[in-house]
Amino acid sequence: MSISYVKDRTIMAFISHASVFLNYNDEIIITDPWYISSAFQSWWPSPPCAYNIDMILGLIQSGKASIIISHAHPDHIDKDFIKLLPKNTKIYIPKYKDSHFADLLNSLGMNNVIEIGLKELNIGSFKLNSYAHYDSDYDAAISIETPDMFVLHGNDSWVLKKEASLKLKNIIENNNKFSLLMGQGSSASGYPLTYYKLKDSEMNTLLENKNIKMIRSLSQIASDCGFDKILAYACFASINIVKKNYRNRAPISTADYCNKVSNSSKFIDLSPGDIFISDKKGGIVVPLTRSLHLNQNIFYKSNNVYKWPDELEFNVEECLEKAEKFCSDFDDYLINKQKVDNLNKEEIGIEFKFEILDENENIIKIINYKYFNNIANRTKICRVRASILNEVLIGKVPFEDLSIGYLAEWDRKPLSRYNRLFMTCLKSFWYDHY
C-alpha cells in the first residue's frame, strides 16, 4: 500500500519502535531510524521493521525524505542504517549544549547535519521545534507540524519541563489542528528484571507499577498540553539474551491497556506497519499489522540473540586491575564534577561494588569503593562477568549497556531509591574517558 494516497492530508506510517513516516503531499520526514542493528548489545526491534529497508533508502536517495533523530541512544539511531545513506542526507537533530551528538553523525560520514535550536525551523510543508533538555545531552522532544496536524515526537522524553508544556499548550490551542502526542510506552532500564535478589512475583509487580507510572505521565502531558490523542511507542523492542529470562516480560502497551491504566480514551491502537491518517475528529487508523506485537514469540527464535562472549581471550588479572583503576579514577572524576557543577554530595554519596564473575557465574573478586564516604548510607552492586566487564573497560561496550542492555545483574539498598545522579555520572564518566 502506498503511504501517499490522500492529498492534502498528513499520512503517518508506523515503521518500528520510535520510527514513523510523516508524509504530506509526498514530502516525508522519518523519525529515529532503528531497523538493522541491535541496541545496547541485546535489544532488537520487535516486531521487526515493517517496511523494506531498500524502499526506505530509495525514498531518502530520491530527495523525498529527510530524517529527524532525537538523541544518541542506539534504539533511536541505527549506525548501520546511517552508514548506508548518501553523505549529504539532511539529518535534523536537537541543538544540545555540546556537540557530542552532531560529532557522532559526522563520524559516520554524514555532512549535512542540521541542528534545531530555540527558533522554529521550516522544511517545506513541515515546521520543527525542539524541546531539548538544554542542561543535558541525551533527551529531547521534537514537534513536527504540517498544514493539518501537530505531532510531538516525544521518544524517551516522557517528562516535559513546565516552559515546554506551556509552549505546546499555546500552539495546540491556537492552531485548530489534530494533535498527536507520541511518547515512550514502557520501561527501558534493567530495573527490576536484572535485580537478582528479587523474586519473579516482586519483579512483575514492580515492572507493572513502573509501566503504569510512565503511561500515566504520558496521559498527564496530553491533558496539560491539550493533545487530542496519544501513541505509546518507543516500546517495541525485545531483550534477547541466551539463558536469561528477560524477553518480552514488560506489559505490552496496547491502546486498551494504556486507556485502562490511565483512565483515558486518548490512546490510539497503532502497531508497527499500521497507517494513520490525520482527521480533526480523531484520525483514521488503517490496521495493516495490528496486534502483531502481541505475538512476539514468533520473532527471533534462533537469530538475534545476545550470546555471552565466553570465548574471548583476555587476561583476567589485567581486567581486575582495570576495574580497580576505573573505580579510583571515577572517584577523582566525581570530586571534580561535584566542585564544578555543585552537585549534592548526598545524591552521589554511595558505596559501589563490582562483584566480578567467571563464566560459570562464580564470584572471583569483589571491588568496592565508597564515594563521598557513603554519607547517604546507600549501596549499589553490579554483578558482572569478567569477559563483559573487560569489554567495557577497553572501551568496546558502553558502561550503560550493563544496565539498559541487561548485561549485568544489580542490587541496591534501599531498593526504593534509584541512584539516578550517581548512575548518570557513571555513564558520563565512561563516555568522557573511553
Write the DSSP assignment of 90-153 as a string of letters. -EEEE--SSSHHHHHHHHTT---EEEE-SS-EEETTEEEEEEE-TT-SS-EEEEEEETTEEEEE
Are 240 and 329 part of one and the same domain? no
**350 is a domain residue:** yes
The pLDDT tens digits of the residues spanning 112-164 come to: 999 998 789 999 999 999 986 655 556 889 999 999 999 999 998 767 788 88
Residues 159 and 288 in one domain: yes
pLDDT digits (tens, 9 = 90+) for 94-126: 998 888 899 999 999 999 999 998 789 999 999
294 and 341 part of one domain:
no
Least confident of 174-188, 265-279, 288-302, 391-405: 288-302
pLDDT in tens, 304-351: 777 777 656 789 999 999 999 999 999 999 999 999 999 999 889 999
Mean pLDDT across the stretch 5-19?
A: 90
Residues 220 and 98 placed together within one structural domain of the fold: yes
DSSP secondary structure letter of residue 431:
H
User: Where residue 7 falls among pLDDT bands split at 50, 70, 90?
Assistant: confident
pLDDT band at 75 (very low <50, low <70, confident <90, very high): very high
Sorting pLDDT into bands at 50, 70 and 90, what band is 298?
A: low
Asked whether the predicted pLDDT for residue 229 surpasses 60, the reply is yes
Q: Is residue 309 part of a domain?
A: no
Place 1 in a pLDDT band, splitting at 50, 70 and 90.
very low
Question: Are 70 and 177 contained in the same domain?
Answer: yes
Number of domains in the chain: 2
Query: Concatenated DSSP letters for 312-338?
Result: ----HHHHHHHHHHHHHHHHHHHHHHH
Q: Decide: 237 and 34 in contact? Cβ < 8 Å.
A: no
pLDDT given at position 293: 54
Same domain assignment for residues 108 and 134: yes
Q: Confirm whether 162 is domain-assigned.
A: yes
Residue 5 pLDDT class (50, 70, 90 cuts): low
In sequence order, the β-bridge partners of residue 152 are 143, 181
The mean predicted confidence, pLDDT, of the chain is 89
Q: Does residue 140 fall inside a structural domain?
A: yes
Would residue 243 count as lying in a domain?
yes
List strand residue ranges (DSSP E) for 225-325, in order: 229-233, 237-239, 275-277, 284-286
Which residue range is the domain that position 257 belongs to?
10-298
SS3 content of the chain, % helix, strand, coil (to 5): 30, 25, 45
Q: What is the CATH number of the domain that holds 328?
A: 3.30.1050
What pairs with residue 195 in β-bridges? 410
| CATH number of the structural domain spanning residue 156 | 3.60.15.10
Q: What confidence score (pLDDT) does residue 303 get?
A: 61
pTM for the full predicted model: 0.92
Instruction: Verify that 50 and 167 share a domain, yes or no.
Output: yes
* Residue-level pLDDT at 295: 58
> Is there a single domain that holds both residue 236 and residue 157?
yes
Rounded mean pLDDT, 70-76: 94
Co-location of 59 and 122 in the same domain: yes
401 and 428 together in one domain: yes
